[in-house]
Amino acid sequence: ICWSVNGGWHRPRVSPYGPITLDPAAAVLHYGQEIFEGIKAYRHADGSVHTFRPDQNARRLQRSARRLALPELPVPYFLQSLRELIAVDGAWVPSGEDQSLYLRPFMFAKEAFLGVRPAHKVAYYLIASPAGPYFPRGIAPVSIWLSEEYARAGKGGTGAAKTGGNYAASLLPQSEAYENECDQVVFLDQDRNVEELGGMNVVFVYKDGTLVTPQSDSILEGITRDSILQLAVDRGHKVEGRAVSFDEWRQGVASGDIVEVFACGTAAVVTPIGLLKGKDFLDEQPSGTLALELRQELTDIQYGRREDKHGWLLRLDA
């Protein structure tokens, strides 16, 4: 769908997958004016196709749009794009454990000009790709590298938006993580509070059963995290969103106050963190069963194996 120079979204068009033609002066290529979402479609045992909390992705895309000076796509248009893609490409939704169709909605500034200002001509696209487990080792605990030198986002920056610039900033630290034999990188803010991983939120489980997750305006508000915390509340756990300093993390693990640390996101679902590594330390992380139990509960809902008490699923193929 395109947003024209005069404003207003045009009729959507479904076309075969292929290259996009862009003017070399298209604003997105120079100023990074673009946003995206990540969402999955799941095939249930009866063959039907469902997605999980798509209204939340639609609203987050609107929040990202506001921050990036892009026009907001109305929620019904977002949902319609998911349905239309499934109507054409529904056969691509795989079945089986951890299998899904990953849906990637994105919007970018198409207008060609060289000055720095918000573009008036914008395109919204949706593409999809079948997806399996995110980490090659399945749900084995992941190792995390502390990025000391680099930040992903700053106060007042674009950290809470899902925009390419944040990911561009995370590529070099992510390479550093690989060089140090870690799977993922964790970012701190300027006050050394924990932010998030390159593509996942972090949750700490305290020994009194409280789940604590960093809250700040420089991290992405994960939909998986919100859902996992809701499932934990349903089980009687307390949850807190607040600043968590890096020292609190290390000391909490050392003293036994923190009994589990896990990461969560649409792609990896819920993954325990097994190791935290920095330039001059290596902390083993405590392991427990809560993360894996919550993961099971969440995936059971997503794949239609457990009652969807919160009304989180939306059927796409009917």
Q: Does 71 bind ligand PMP (CB under 6 A)?
A: no
Give the one residue of 225, 258, 273, 295 binding ligand PMP; rule: CB under 6 A.
Answer: 225
Give the one residue of 266, 271, 285, 302 binding ligand PMP; rule: CB under 6 A.
Answer: 266
Which CB, 52 or 246, lies closer to ligand PMP?
52
Which region holds residue 161: left if phi is over 0, alpha if psi is between -120 and 50, else beta? beta
Token output for 1: 């769908």
Residue 45 CA, distance from chain mean position: 26
Q: Does 222 bind ligand PMP (CB under 6 A)?
A: yes
Q: Are 144 and 277 a contacting pair, CB within 8 Å?
A: yes
Give the DSSP letter of residue 26: B
Q: Does 61 bind ligand PMP (CB under 6 A)?
A: no
Give the one residue of 34, 111, 196, 260 binding ligand PMP; rule: CB under 6 A.
Answer: 196
Token output for 231: 């499932």
Q: Which stretch, 41-49, 92-100, 131-139, 217-225, contacts ligand PMP (CB under 6 A)?
A: 217-225
Which CB, 26 or 269, lies closer to ligand PMP?
269
Which CB, 110 or 225, lies closer to ligand PMP?
225
Give the one residue of 224, 271, 285, 302 binding ligand PMP; rule: CB under 6 A.
Answer: 224
Per-residue x/- track, 159-178, ligand PMP (CB under 6 A): --------------------
Alpha-carbon torsion angle 97, 101, 107, 111, nearest 10? 140
Pairwise CA distance, residues 300 & 294, whole Å: 10
Residue count of the chain: 318
User: Which is it for strands 142-146 and 269-278: parallel, antiparallel or unpaired?
Assistant: parallel
Q: Which stretch, 70-78, 109-117, 216-224, 271-279, contacts ligand PMP (CB under 6 A)?
A: 216-224
User: Which is it for strands 184-188 and 194-197: parallel, antiparallel or unpaired?
Assistant: antiparallel
**Which residues in this chain contact ligand PMP in the complex, by CB under 6 A?**
38, 196, 199-201, 220, 222-225, 265-266
